[in-house]
Amino acid sequence: MLSEFRSLAIISPELMLFATAILTLLADISSRAKATARGRDGHEISSYETRPRLVAAVALLGLAAALLLSFRTFSFAPTEVFSRALSIDPVSQFFKTLLIFAGIITVMQGSMSHEIHRTEKAELHALLVLGTLGMCIMTSAVHFLLLFLAYEMVGITGYVLAAFKRRSGLSSEAGVKLFVHGALTTILFAIGIVMLYGIGKSFNILDIRGQLTSGAVPTGYLWVAFGLIFIALAGRLAVFPFHFLAPDIIEGSPSPVSAYFCVSSTIAAMAFALRLCIHIFSAKGDLKWIHLQNFEWPELSTGVAAVTMTIGNLTALYQTNLKRLIGYSCIAQIGYILMGIPVLTHAGIAAVLFSLATYGIVTLGTFFVIQMVTDHAGSEKLSILRGLVWRNPYEGVALCIFLLSLAGLPPLVGFVGRFYILGVVVREKLYWLSIVAAINWVLGLTYYLSMIRQIFASHSLSAGERSPSVMEANPVAQFTLAILLLPTIVLGIYWDPLMNYITRSLGAVAW
């Protein structure tokens, strides 16, 4: 009995997230008030009005409580609970903290969004929280059945969220595309799991790994099993050759959902990638991991990373839709981060975790400002950024800082992450990959600086054109931007505490 209570204490963040989703819907139901209005024919029409601020407050308080509980679990020793289905260690808790923080920001975005009707915001918040719950389970699951259920939980919530703007054809298209792609990758993922079960006669990742390291499994069989699961992973990471859906989904979804896909989904998928590449298909060595004999998966990973960042940057150069441009930018960023995994050293994985955390913070900030601008302008064209810094200095400067960080310029945190990744790649003598990354660094600067030029440009009016109005100041939005700006600037100057924590965490895991 004591061990069961301890297991429940360890997964308290997940339990809080589940309770928050339920309480959010209950708050919506309990806060509805009957309202009447007269139609054109003079008859009274009854309807129900909700209190979206109360519902958002419940969701945010629950997420904040889950975040505090995740901090508390940092002190727990690495352990496995629920019949070795979940592995709790500092790295999984690090991922959970990032995911819950991203959930807080996206729920706050949803509460301010003009794209979503006030009567539908409770469902949006509940789905965002449930998706975050599924992703948190993905980061800790070491049993393939639980991992598959969490994968499906994230997928189902994603289908609904992508099509949440019911009156938008682009949103409906995004939902259908994501559903079709998700159904296909789910089938392939299930087949890959069955093939691995055939090796270890167990769904537990550690048992399967023990059989794989014995060297008795044919290389062709390994490639097929790895390839099937990698396809499912590539769809969630939006890496080549499954990157083509991501911009459509990001453009069609509401802005909070776009941020959710670009940040939360990427973090969870990268945790899944670490489980797949290191926890299953590699063996532990001294300060590094060693890929299985005659199974050169790192070569595949480096090729995917190089092509992904190149396609992302080249395609972003020609975009005129703001959200679509950021979507291709995120694909390129994922390509950069992915370079650290095939290095298979503690320094490489630490660089991946650091870059992932900073990418999440900066991308959330970018989407936050973009949502404010697009909601106000009623358009997603790149031209709406023109003269932003003169109309709204705070939002304009904030967006410039986030874009410069994504571009990898000092003294911002994006430069630190990019520097660490390139450092470990060069140290492993992957010179061709470092050259590709350097070229893409310059390509990325091209469109990031072009956006900044738009932000600082003076707005010259053509005949009959109205001058863009100034956005109304929102203290809550400005405070949220300050929360995201602080680590973007501070971690670019003093990043040692975060990197030291990540390094210590990797030393404690039993991968």
HSE of 313, CA atoms in CB hemisphere, 13 A = 25
The model's confidence at residue 81, banded by pLDDT at 50, 70 and 90, is confident
pLDDT per position as a tens digit, 3-37 = 556 667 778 888 899 999 988 888 887 766 554 44
CA distance 128 to 103: 7
Residues with Cβ within 8 Å of residue 496, at least 6 apart in sequence: none
Residues in the chain: 511
Are the C-beta atoms of 59 and 106 separated by less than 8 Å?
Answer: no
Mean pLDDT of the chain: 83
Listed range (45-49, 222-226, 458-462) with the worst mean pLDDT: 45-49
Predicted pLDDT of residue 47: 47
Kindly tell me if the per-residue pLDDT of 48 is higher than 90.
no
pLDDT per position as a tens digit, 95-148 = 999 999 999 999 998 888 777 777 777 888 889 999 999 999 998 888 888 899
pLDDT per position as a tens digit, 236-279 = 888 888 877 888 888 888 888 899 989 999 999 988 888 888 88
If one counts every other C-beta atom within 10 angstroms of the C-beta of residue 407, the result is: 22
- For residue 361, the 8-state DSSP code is H
Are the C-beta atoms of 115 and 254 separated by less than 8 Å?
Answer: yes
The model's confidence at residue 83, banded by pLDDT at 50, 70 and 90, is confident
pLDDT per position as a tens digit, 439-463 = 999 998 999 998 999 888 876 544 4
The model's confidence at residue 487, banded by pLDDT at 50, 70 and 90, is very high
Kindly tell me if the per-residue pLDDT of 473 is higher than 70.
no
Predicted pLDDT of residue 106: 92
- For residue 204, the 8-state DSSP code is B
Predicted pLDDT of residue 5: 63
Closest CA to 262 of 276, 270, 487, 316: 270
Are the C-beta atoms of 489 and 398 separated by less than 8 Å?
Answer: no
